[in-house]
Structure 1
Amino acid sequence: MLRGVLGSARRLECASIANKPSVGRRVVVRAVTMPPAQKLAANLIDIGANLTDPMFLGSYHGKTGVHPPDLDRVLQRAWSAGLTRIVITATNLEESRVALALARTDARLYCTAGVHPTRCGEIEAAPEGAAAYWEALRGVLEEGKREGKTVAVGECGLDGDRLQFCDMVTQQRWFEAHFRLAAEVQLPMFLHLRAAAPAFLDTLARQPAGALRGVVHSFDGTLEEAHKVLSYPGLFIGLNGCSLKTAENVAVAAALPLDRILLETDAPWCEIRPSHAAHVHVQTRLQVRDKKKWDPDAAIKSRNEPANLRQVLEAVAGARGMEAGALAAQVHANALALFFSG
């Protein structure tokens, strides 16, 4: 079923809009040391995973057939690791459709629908016209919401690092449009912020008072920027491996209010690497192999997956000096409050 859903869609070139993980020459195999999921005091929800990415079909940088499609195995590992829900993120209209189709295959899968800032040019270049593209996106959102599957508008926001994909004026225009769309469909937002904090915060300030609900995902900003985001009661901060690279990042994660934190993997991106400051707190490991030596029972080296949410949990808990179970219980409640309370 999963293979059919992903295989029937056109190949989604997500790799062009994400941080590509470095690939080492050595094949590293680690023993599985993941403790039983029941030791946690709460269930885990990955609030952001790019499960429509071609890597889960065995396609890397345009080369197909590197290994068999293995999303079913990826999901099995996630459920075994204690995850009970995963939100599949989408970055354009086509991905939004595929994410919804994929979410329909399992009661534990949910999705977003929206246009990533680096892909906003696709809206205006659409053969059917920008208005028709936008109405089609609205239709996906409304359909998914009726089914209880689409839980957020996005991924949307501003990206100042990759202006070669879309200029800031176009990004800003459609970022504003996403706020209006979220208000119309009455869903929270899955927000992207990279190297554009002043413009991002200015955009938040222009929205109607009390109207903001959502998460600024993959947050890697300063504590001051985090406080400005959290000055809006309906907003949360999403943390993943990219949020935990430096000592400053870890200090920010340790200082955030517990009731405003959400955890994510952003798979297949944003793994916690040995070079990351927070890696010292990681206790669990999946068995991994190089993609060219694929093993159905092993994760792919340098390809993140939802089961590694346990690592994010451990890293943030370690940074805060608290038990992982206590943090798990709080972030689970936070995720339910934002995405699953209606």
Structure 2
Amino acid sequence: MARYADIAVNLTDPMFQGIYHGKKKHAPDLDAVISRAKSQGVQRMLITGTSLSESREALEMAKRYDLHCTAGVHPTSTSEIDKHPQGADACFQELEQLIEADRGEGGSKRIISLGEIGLDYDRLNWSPKETQLRHLPRLLLLSKRFRLPMFLHSRTPESHVDLIKAMRDAGWVSPFTEGTGAGEKEWVGGVVHSFTGTTEEVKELVDMGLYIGLNGCSLKTAENLETVKTIPLDRIMLETDAPWCSITTSHASHPFLPPTSSSVYIQRVNKAEKWQEGQGVKGRMEPADVAVIAEVVARVNGVKVEEVIQAAWGNTERLFW
């Protein structure tokens, strides 16, 4: 059986407790979701931490299910740092303590990446640009302090430009960057997840030695597909961003989906309220669906799916495990 790693699963999302838009639709089925993924060959799952509270929840979930997680503050959650009852410094101290406890003697060492961190100028109603930029350097330095690979978020071209600048200002210069003199010891690497950028961005990220995570959102438009073709296989990682980023009929990648008879699909009900035990829900991605993403990426690139699966597995192992 093929080995898959899903580097982005939001398993703390209420959908896996049967709650959609604040309404209870069915019984919690997280146990079944994880079991389906493992039976599909998904041997690695990285639960995303998007805030201090969710990083705590992700860590407890990783311990419970023998998985791994990130710890960090998503750019759209950076406003929460300032709202901490004891102030921003206390928020950072608690995040550091969470990581230290996990890495320390007797710790589980489940936190294997610093993230989700980065910039998002598309959703400034959640956190203003100034707030994101103010807290990003300190978050980047946590990656350096704990020597944890970065799990990065960048949604717009402007976000990309400022993220690269912030990384360089924080001293994150890849040893692959010619003439920097930076050594391997200083570079922990990272991945820009849920990538939706341009071919120019691909080149800059790859030249920096970063990996690129692909999911359904990375495969929406014809331009996206042309960009995906430019990403070297030794820089690709696969993800679902479950429960988000499903491939719909309006996506340019829809014709590249494998036939419905393929074993990579899981059974789904059309509506959440019609959920039955042992089935998924239409539109709700699960980590088992990383096999579908692998098929689409392979078809878009015109290569065997085994090549994509093996490359992504090796890339993920090198960065995180």
Instruction: Provide TM-score, normalisation by structure 2.
Output: 0.90
In structure 2, which of residues 263, 275, 299 is the aligned counterpart of residue 294 of structure 1? 275
Q: State whether residues 152 and 188 of structure 1, in contact with CA within 8 Å, keep that contact through their aligned partners in structure 2.
A: yes
Q: Is the 8 A contact 1:212 1:232 kept in 2?
A: no
> Paired residue for 1:177?
138
Is the Cα–Cα contact under 8 Å of residues 118 and 154 in structure 2 kept in the other structure?
yes
SS at match of 2:64: coil
Contact kept in structure 2, 1:141 and 1:153, CA below 8 Å: no
Q: In the alignment, what sits opposite 2:11? A: 51
1:227 alignment partner in structure 2? 203
Shift, 1:287, TM fit: 1.5
- d(CA) in 1 for partners of 2:188 and 2:227? 22
Matches within 5 A, 1:1-342: 38=1, 40=2, 43-63=3-23, 65-107=24-66, 109-145=67-103, 146-195=107-156, 196-208=159-171, 209-210=173-174, 211=187, 213-233=189-209, 235-283=210-258, 284-289=264-269, 290-340=271-321
Write the deviation string for residues 243-298 of structure 1: whole angstroms up to 9, x where unpaired: 00011111111110111111100000011222211222221432111101011111
SS of the residue corresponding to residue 19 of structure 2 reads coil
Q: Helix, strand or coil: the match of 2:244?
A: coil
* Partner SS state of residue 153, structure 2: strand
Question: Which runs of no fewer than 5 residues in structure 1 stay unpaired?
Answer: 1-37
- Sequence identity of aligned pairs in percent? 43
**AA paired with 1:47?**
I
What secondary structure sits across from 1:75 in the alignment? helix
* Cα distance in 2 between the residues matched to 1:302 and 1:291: 9
Deviations for 1:6-48, whole angstroms, at most 9, x for unmatched residues? Answer: xxxxxxxxxxxxxxxxxxxxxxxxxxxxxxxx2x3xx100001
2:60 & 2:201 partners in 1: Cα distance?
A: 36
Aligned mates of 2:228, 2:101 — CA distance in 1: 36
| Structure 2 portions without partners, runs of 5+ | 175-186, 259-263
Task: For residues 58-102 of structure 1, give each alpha carbon's deviation from its aligned partner in whole angstroms, at most 9, with x where no partner exists.
Answer: 111222x21101101111111111100100001101111110000
Aligned length: 297
Which one-letter code corresponds to 2:135 in the other structure?
W
> What's the counterpart of residue 11 of structure 1?
none
Q: CA RMSD in A?
A: 1.2
How far does the alpha carbon of each residue in 1:87-119 deviate from its partner, in whole angstroms, 9 at most, with x for none? Answer: 000110111111000001123x10000000011
Correspondence for 1:15: none
| In 2: Cα distance, 1:85 partner to 1:311 partner | 16
The letter of the residue matching 2:102 is: G
Which ranges of 4 or more aligned residues in structure 1 deviate by more than 4 Å? none
